[in-house]
């Protein structure tokens, strides 16, 4: 059975980043919603998360981040 892709918002925050890592360790595909691609976002990408760079307060970005999730 294929595991569903999980969207984590504010993914570079302490709690969200921990959630990303836990989900990846359990074999879930993760889309990490980040404000900008900085060192913390890159670390999530290296760990295996798919990055989505955008503004959570922009409806179009938020909607686009959910496609396929």
Class of domain 6-65: alpha beta
Output DSSP code: residue 35.
S
H helix count then E strand count, the chain: 3, 3
Q: Tens-of-pLDDT digits for all 69 residues of the chain? A: 799 999 999 999 999 999 999 999 999 999 999 999 999 999 999 999 999 999 999 999 999 999 999
Question: What tokens were used for 19?
Answer: 């959630």
Gap between the Cα atoms of 1 and 62, Å rounded: 27
What pLDDT score does 1 carry?
79
Please state the domain extents for the chain: 6-65
Closest to 65 (Cα-Cα) out of 30, 31, 28: 31
- What percent of the chain has a predicted confidence (pLDDT) above 70? 100
Instruction: Judge whether 40 and 64 are in contact, CB under 8 Å.
Output: no
pLDDT at 27: 98
């Amino acid at each position: 059975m294929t595991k569903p892709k999980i969207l984590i918002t504010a993914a570079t925050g302490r709690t969200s980043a921990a959630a990303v890592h836990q989900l990846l360790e359990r074999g879930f595909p993760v889309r990490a919603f980040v404000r900008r691609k900085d060192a913390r976002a890159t670390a999530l990408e290296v760990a295996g998360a798919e990055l989505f760079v955008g503004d959570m307060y922009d409806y179009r970005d938020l909607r686009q981040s959910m496609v396929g999730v």
